[in-house]
């Protein structure tokens, strides 16, 4: 599997924080991934946001070292 371009990792953060992805952030992933993969990236960020919001609202404790 090829390494993830550095700007690609900003996309999920922008989706979670701003509910959008800025033009500058799109440039690198768009040159390495298909439209289908880009859509999947957005959906994946959303899938993690829903349970994160629920767990944070319920004040679920974080896992500690085992």
Q: Tell me the pLDDT of the chain (66 aa) as tens digits.
A: 556 555 556 666 777 777 778 888 888 788 888 989 888 878 887 788 788 889 999 999 888 666
pLDDT in tens, 4-18: 555 556 666 777 777
Q: Is 34 helix (H, G, I), strand (E, B) or coil?
A: coil
Q: How many domains does the chain have?
A: 1
Structural domain harbouring 22: 6-56
Answer yes or no: is 20 within a domain: yes
Answer yes or no: is 44 within a domain: yes
Answer yes or no: is 36 within a domain: yes
Which long-range contacts does 12-17 make (Cβ < 8 Å, 24+ apart)?
12/41, 12/44, 12/45, 12/48, 15/42, 15/45, 15/46, 15/49, 16/45, 16/48, 16/49, 16/52
Please tell me the predicted confidence (pLDDT) of residue 6: 56
d(CA 16, CA 23) in angstroms, rounded, equals 16
Please tell me the predicted confidence (pLDDT) of residue 36: 92
């Amino acid at each position: 599997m090829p390494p993830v371009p550095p700007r690609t990792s900003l996309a999920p953060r922008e989706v979670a924080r701003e509910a959008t992805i800025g033009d500058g952030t799109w440039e690198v992933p768009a040159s390495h991934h298909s439209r289908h993969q880009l859509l999947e990236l957005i959906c994946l960020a959303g899938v993690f946001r829903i349970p994160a919001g629920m767990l944070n609202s319920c004040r679920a404790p974080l896992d500690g070292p085992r």
